[in-house]
Structure 1
């Protein structure tokens, strides 16, 4: 049996492939070693795999946010070893998940636009170039976090139309000091800021909102995609909720910049399952 997991800060998608090539699905909370210690990670794993905790897994492939450092990889590996001590365990960063899922064994640029953002140049085997994301404070251009920050800047600087501001106030019922309190004292501010993405999407026809989103995607492509060797000759793929739901705007930006945007999918787990399925 094979266990595959793709995890962000908010949720984990699990896929189980049995000896008959039957695929089973499970979902749990997110597993990010920057936010959870070993005991918290184990608890999420056990809850997500409650029906499969005694399964004889031979291979485990985990792809997760926060798994770029050897220390964090080892933390995740140790947790899996407690659950499945006889399995071969491979821990990778979520960027490799996107690349393998989107590009398979072909060369291309893989991008993540979700709660956060990232990108890489993939040669069909591994990542050969990576523009650093810089995270939710310094980077994350085009992400839900980035859109949330830009929207709130407009909100506080009185740039929004009266109608948009009133609808925002009615929907969220927050005073300005509540918003700032939540940003600067929330245990995961990136998730709080990203939570405004749905409201932004609902009001995409507003000229200012559309321009804000367009500029965010343009900035992502210029600062990330256009830094890679031969980027103009390669297919550029996207995964993540923001890329998926804002696809029309994203493709417009790509066309305006001469970028060959190919696949846009909401998440990488289906592509990863196909990548790891025994041939």
Structure 2
């Protein structure tokens, strides 16, 4: 039995490849080594139903947020080994998941456009180049927090169409003080800012909301994709809710920038399953 995991801070999508070739799936709690200790992750795993298959698990491929640094990878590995001691465990980060899920064994540029944003140049085997992921304060162009932040700035300064502003007030019952409290005093400000993207997407037929996505995607291309060698001649693939639910705008922006937008998926778990099946 092989376990494949795509994990974020809030949830983990598991795919189980059984010895007879059948595939099943499971959604469990999320793991992020930046916020959890190895012992805490181990405890959560022991409460999951997957623990019932301990003796059958031969390999675990775990892709997770916060799993880029070697010490963080080791923490996750030890947590998994404590539950699946007889398994071979491999840990990698979410950018590798995006590359393998969308590019498979072929070269291409893989991008993440979710709450945040990230990208890499992939040669079909390994990541050969990346751009800085500066986070929601200094970067994340094209991601939900970046788009939501621009929306909130325009709201505060009354620089959006009045009907969009009124619709936002009716929907969210907020004011400048409420916004600033969430951004500066409450936990997870990036999630808060990104939460407005659903509203913006629902109104993307309006030129203002369409423009928020379009200009943000253009900023992402300029800061990321266009800085990779020979980017014009490579397929550019995307993972993440912002890319998936606004794929029409994303493809238009890519076309205008001379970029070959190819695969756009919401999450990588299905592609990761196919990737590892091909290695069997």
TM-score range, shorter chain: over 0.9
The answer (yes or no) to whether the contact 2:10–2:31 under 8 Å persists in 1 is yes
Checking the alignment, whether the CA contact within 8 Å between 2:51 and 2:83 is kept in structure 1 is no
Q: Determine the structure 2 residue equivalent to 1:195.
A: 195
SS in 2 for 1:105: coil
Structure 2 CA distance for partners of 1:273 and 1:170, relative to 1, 3 Å: same
Cα distance, 1:9 vs. partner? 2.6
Q: Which residue of 1 aligns with 2:169?
A: 169
Question: Which range moved further: 28-37 or 126-135?
Answer: 28-37
1:18-49 residue CA offsets vs partner (Å, 9 max, x unmatched): 10111111112322222233344234434444
TM-aligned CA distance change 1:26 to 1:105, over 3 Å: same
Pair 1:245–1:48, CA change in 2 (3 A) = farther
1:231 aligns with 2:231: yes
Q: How does 1:244-263 map to 2 (within 5 A)?
A: 244-263=244-263
RMSD: 1.5
Structure 1 CA distance, aligned partners of 2:44 and 2:222?
A: 37
When the two structures are superposed, what TM-score results if normalisation uses the length of structure 2?
A: 0.95
Distance, in Å, in 1 between the alignment partners of 2:178 and 2:18 is 49
Q: Counterpart of 2:17?
A: 17
CA distance in 1, matches of 2:160, 2:47: 43
Q: Would you say the 8 A contact 1:26–1:48 is kept in 2?
A: no
* Equivalent pairs, count: 279
Deviation for aligned residue 1:51: 6.3
Alpha-carbon distance, 1:56 to partner:
2.2
Q: Secondary structure of 1:236's partner?
A: strand
* Structure 1 residue 223, shift from structure 2 partner: 0.8
What is the DSSP-based 3-state SS (H/G/I as helix, E as strand, rest coil) of the residue aligned with 1:26? strand
Given that residues 28 and 44 in structure 1 are in contact (C-alpha distance below 8 angstroms), is that contact kept between their aligned partners in structure 2? no
Q: CA 1:97–1:49 in 2, change beyond 3 Å: closer, same or farther? A: farther
- Cα pair 1:113 1:241 within 8 Å, conserved: yes
- Partner residue, 1:126: 126
Q: Take 2:84 and 2:232, find their aligned partners in 1: how far apart are those partners?
A: 44
TM-score by length of 1: 0.95
SS at match of 2:25: strand
Deviation readout 1:45-65 (Å, 9 max, x if unpaired): 344445645352110001011
Contact 1:30/1:44 (8 A) holds in 2: no
1:1-279 residue pairs with structure 2 within 5 A? 1-50=1-50, 52=52, 54-277=54-277, 279=280
Of residues 69-78 and 46-55 in structure 1, the stretch that sits farther from structure 2 once superposed is 46-55
5+ long unaligned stretches in structure 1? none
Q: Residues 266 and 48 from structure 1, CA distance in 2 versus in 1: closer, same or farther, beyond 3 angstroms?
A: farther
